[in-house]
Amino acid sequence: MSRLNDRAYQLLKGAIRARYQQQPAARIPKEVLWQRLEKLRLQSGEPAGFEDLRAIVSDAFPDFDLGLLKSAARLNQPKTGWGFWAWGSWGCGLAGVVVATGGIALANLPLPPIRNVVADNAPLLLLPSFWMMDQDYRAATAATAQAKQLLDNATSAADIELGATKTQAAQAALDRLPVWFLGSRPKTYCTLFSCRWRFTLDEFAAARQTVARLEAQVFQERNAQALLNQALATVETARQQHQSAKDSSAQNAALGDWQSGIDRLREVPQETLAGRQARAKLAGIDRDFQSVTGRAVGRQQVGSLITGAKEYGFRAALAAQKPPHPVEQWRVVQNLWQEALALLTQIKDDDPQFAAAQRLRAEYAQNLAIAKQREALERQSIESLEQADRQIAQWRTLAAADPSNPRLLGTLQEIENNLERVHPASTAYAKAEQLRQFANQALQRYQPMTPQPNVAPDAPATQAR
């Protein structure tokens, strides 16, 4: 004889399955209990009693229904004559219950011909349907209100997901409501249970519209959240790439991706939670981007300033080649050096290239000073040559009038002094050398005690400069 018969085995197995459905986490204890019951079923010997069954299930489910264990122990006992008649009585009662349950189930079928007849003649039989409608109505109303509260006042992505769950629950509850019963109110049920609801077409349509709006809102919120996450990931990746970039080309590419991420942040719908979060993050991200691009633009500007200064310096050096030059040429050279220095002066002291710019500035300032000196020497030399020119013209006039005039010797000496002040590196030096030769010849030929013919020595033609 088996220690556990089929009836007791099926009863316990069904109870364990129901318990597992209520507690999905109890899957492992369920499997263990089924193995124990199967093993007990295969054993031969005295039928297991209440204590035996209790010992089997108590470690897995300490709060297992003791009444059900007792029922299983009774079913596991061998049948006797009295038991057969007792079971016959119980069987008849059970059959009656089954028939009554089937009749109630038939009466509650969602078929208008049957439902209308039952509602007119035996409305109490529809209590299960009314109870289910009442529960579904309450569930739909509560879930819709909770979903609306969560979605309209969301503070995190978790609120959006919970709102989506509540929206699905509201939709499921509305789907279970019998549309054919709209507009009716079960008087008997509402008298017994004090229900306050009444299904109307307008109410049902409004509920459907609200749930549809919430579903669309969930869809929009999820899309906006995905767009926000993509934009933030793009910005963060671009930031890291810019920091690790080894050349300007890689930096510019990273800045382009960074700007693309900022543009995506601005595209997030502002009426969504993600849009509000994007606006909060955008200020800081845009500030960092402007700071980085400002430094990059600053470096480019400083590079342009230095390049421009070097170009002016090159032109100045080129203009100063192969001296001597006239005053106007030295003025051009000075202007070029001054333009170069003006560009270098714009570089701030906090710029990384400030030291290099200062070294270049010092060099250009020295070159400018040299150009000014050369201009001053050129100007002085020209003035001395012009003065010597005028004195030679005066001397020739005096010599032609009176070769023995004592002023002739002093005038020649003044001419010599002026010609000595002409700098060798000036444009006037070659002309001054010619005039010096004339003055020297005049001094050698001049005899103050011996009158000479009224003829002046040859002198080169002069031109006022």
- pLDDT tens track, the chain, 465 positions: 677 787 877 777 777 777 666 666 656 666 777 777 777 777 777 887 878 777 777 777 777 777 777 887 888 787 654 444 444 555 555 555 555 555 555 545 555 555 555 555 555 555 566 666 767 777 888 888 888 888 888 888 888 888 888 888 888 887 777 665 555 555 555 555 555 555 566 777 777 888 888 888 888 888 888 888 888 898 888 888 878 877 777 877 888 887 888 888 888 888 888 888 888 888 788 788 777 766 555 555 667 888 888 898 899 999 999 889 999 999 999 999 999 899 888 888 877 778 888 899 899 999 999 999 999 999 999 898 888 888 888 888 887 888 777 777 788 888 888 888 888 888 888 888 888 888 887 777 664 444 444 444 444 444 433
Amino acid at 180: W
> Taking the model in full, what pTM does it have?
0.39
The answer to whether the beta carbons of residues 333 and 319 sit under 8 Å apart is yes
> Distance of alpha carbon 412 from its chain centroid, rounded?
88
What are the C-alpha distances in Å from 352 to residues 290, 298, 336, 356, 363? 19, 10, 26, 9, 19
Is residue 6 classed as helix, strand or coil in its secondary structure? helix
Length of the chain: 465
